[in-house]
Amino acid sequence: MTKTTTGKVSYHSGQTAELQVARHWARDGWCVLQHRFKSASGEIDLALHRNDTVLFVEVKRARMHGIAASRISLQQITRINQSAKIFVDEHLSGQNFKMRLDAALVDQKGEIQIIPDALAGF
């Protein structure tokens, strides 16, 4: 496969994983606020809410959950945190809510592992 083809496959695989994770959260009563929020700082795969909580999720897909987790860099976590703040300023200013930043790891079988607050505090 060429680099362009590999990139397209990765893009579509990532999009499929994001939609799968969104459905996972929806079954738990979460509503999608935005899919692939882009800001000057970076991108957030999913922004969701339920009751008084807003959840930002970084989705990673790989052959195994551990490999997916290893692909989340400190630099990326910092960008996600900055983007979450921008999202809140643009869309939720003045509202009172709790905020979480989770990682959702999807393996080759499509099994999802959620790591709560994996991206918080940076």
How far the first Cα of the chain sits from its last, in Å, is 37
Q: Which domain holds residue 59?
A: 3-115
- Number of domains observed in the structure of the chain: 1
Residue 83 lies in a domain: yes
Domain CATH for 39: 3.40.1350.10
Residue 98 lies in a domain: yes
Q: What is the pLDDT of residues 28-85, one digit of tens each?
A: 999 999 999 999 999 999 999 999 999 999 999 999 999 999 999 999 999 999 999 9
Residue 120 lies in a domain: no
Residue 122 lies in a domain: no
pTM (2 d.p.) = 0.87
CA 69 – CA 47 distance, rounded (Å):
19
CA 30 – CA 5 distance, rounded (Å):
34
